[in-house]
Amino acid sequence: MANLQVRDIDDKLYESVRNLAIIEKRSISQEVVLILEKYLSSPLAFKKNPTEEFLSLAGSWEDDRSAEEIVQDIRLNRRNSSRFRDTDELFD
């Protein structure tokens, strides 16, 4: 059987895999193999068709506001966004 060594894994990602392995009563190595097997056995379940995803956006950008109003709205939302306030996310 082949061996796989992965380097420079983000600490939070490693902890997430480790915690999942503990919950499932598996080793980290077993958990990683299971995750890879699940993904590779049905990659379409994890990945959307890019063409279909693009076509689903058709018409979603239509707006009655002027370009200036849209830009102003975007800028206001960026300033008031709480998106980057949380520092306890998986990849912050």
Contact 28, 17 (CB under 8 A): yes
Contact 32, 17 (CB under 8 A): yes
The model's pTM is: 0.49
Helix axes 28-41, 11-23, angle to 10 degrees: 90
- Using the CB atoms, write b or e for 39-58: b if 16+ within 10 Å: eeeeeeeeeeeeeeeeeeee
Res. 26 pLDDT band, cuts 50 70 90: very high
Instruction: Identify the pLDDT of residue 90.
Output: 62
Alpha carbon distance 21, 29 (integer Å): 9
What's the pLDDT tens digit per position in 51-63?
A: 877 777 777 777 8
